[in-house]
């Protein structure tokens, strides 16, 4: 695309035309031509005055828009505002807060918060391909610092030391190989016990791969399945190839984003913030338009209603 935008300013100008925004959406969602999402017919009629299509087959929901079946469905906010929002969250290294996005787009903070969570659904890594080669695994804890809490809240919230009262997360990083780049997957885990961490590693890493972890007891018992080597941080941080610096760098980026931009994240929503940071980390070598296009290519089949967002219903993430 020769006239693709390269900066946020160019993107805002480019997609300010509703026809251009719609054409971009159609090109990515229906590369082989528009078809009815209900019956699949391709001989649909475009109603230009409303920017929707009508299926020639007589059935329910004959008329449909480009938003149907995507993260944009049922949203009164036009694509001309959705696209800059996607551009910003995909390319701002430390994320963008709902307050800032609301001011930039002229929507309420509540609407901006809902938009950002919908976009994070499209940023979720959908590949089921396992990692191989050289991999690092590490766990961490996310939660507020007790020294920054009011004494009343600290007394109510903090009941122990270390990771107590914090949310456990686990990251697995595949190191770069043959000119490629390192990639990471991060998930929320219920605890950091041996069974939990072992199950995540077995589900993510191919047996026989090189696996580097720290000396935490939760990683014991993996030697028979992987080329498992351990670095004891009480003694050293690097021993040749044996280290976890790559995944610890990811934790640093994640915590900087949460503490600096989002400030406070409920554990219930944390997995979406992990998806957001993982996407930016994995797509870091792409340009701004490439990251925007990657997110927009994944909006289909991933709906999130407000009821689902606040925990009143099950989230839908079926691939389109």
Average pLDDT in the 203-231 region?
Answer: 96
pLDDT tier, 143 (very low <50, low <70, confident <90, very high otherwise): confident
Domain of 213, CATH number, reads 3.30.420
The mean of the pLDDT values for the chain is: 90
Contact 22, 79 (CB under 8 A): yes
pLDDT tier, 76 (very low <50, low <70, confident <90, very high otherwise): very high
* pLDDT tens per residue, range 251-306: 999 999 999 999 889 999 999 999 999 999 999 999 999 999 999 999 999 889 99
Q: Which residue has the higher pLDDT, 93 or 313?
A: 93
153 and 245 belong to one structural domain: yes
pLDDT tier, 319 (very low <50, low <70, confident <90, very high otherwise): very low
149 domain residue, yes or no: yes
Residue-level pLDDT at 148 = 58
172 and 290 belong to one structural domain: no
203 and 295 belong to one structural domain: no
Residue-level pLDDT at 3 = 82
Share of the chain above pLDDT 90, in %: 82
Residue-level pLDDT at 318 = 43
- Residue-range definition of the domain harbouring residue 82: 74-124+270-320
274 and 259 belong to one structural domain: no
Which residues are paired to 184 by β-bridges?
173
168 and 241 belong to one structural domain: yes
Q: Which two tokens stand for residue 317?
A: 């993430």
Above 70 in pLDDT, residue 151? no
Average pLDDT in the 53-62 region?
Answer: 93
């Amino acid at each position: 695309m020769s006239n693709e935008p390269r900066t946020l300013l160019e993107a805002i100008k480019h997609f300010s035309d509703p026809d251009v925004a719609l054409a971009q959406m159609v090109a990515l969602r229906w590369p082989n031509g528009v078809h009815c999402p209900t019956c699949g017919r391709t001989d649909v009629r475009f109603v230009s005055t409303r920017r929707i299509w009508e299926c020639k087959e007589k059935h329910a929901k004959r008329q449909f828009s480009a938003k149907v079946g995507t993260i944009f469905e049922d949203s009164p906010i036009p694509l001309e505002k959705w696209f800059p929002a996607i551009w910003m969250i995909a390319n701002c290294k430390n994320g963008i807060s709902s307050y800032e996005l609301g001011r930039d787009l002229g929507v309420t903070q509540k609407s901006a918060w809902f938009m950002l969570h919908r976009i994070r659904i499209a940023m979720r890594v959908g590949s089921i391909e396992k990692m191989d080669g050289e991999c690092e695994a590490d766990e961490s804890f996310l939660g507020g610092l007790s020294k920054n809490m009011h004494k009343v809240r600290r007394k109510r919230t903090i009941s122990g030391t270390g990771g107590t009262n914090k949310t456990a997360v686990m990251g697995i990083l595949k190191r770069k190989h043959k000119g490629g780049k390192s990639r990471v997957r991060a998930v929320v885990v219920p605890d950091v016990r041996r069974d939990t961490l072992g199950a995540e590693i077995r589900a993510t890493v191919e047996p026989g791969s090189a696996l580097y972890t720290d000396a935490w007891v939760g990683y014991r018992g993996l030697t028979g399945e992987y080329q498992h080597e351990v670095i004891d941080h009480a003694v050293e941080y690097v021993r040749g190839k044996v280290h976890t610096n790559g995944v610890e760098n990811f934790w640093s980026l994640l915590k900087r984003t949460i503490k600096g931009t989002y400030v406070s994240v409920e554990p219930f929503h944390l997995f979406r913030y992990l998806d957001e940071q993982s996407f930016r980390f994995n797509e870091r070598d792409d340009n701004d338009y490439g990251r925007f296009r990657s997110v927009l290519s994944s909006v289909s089949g991933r709906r999130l209603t407000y009821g689902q967002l606040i925990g009143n219903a099950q989230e839908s993430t079926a691939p389109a």
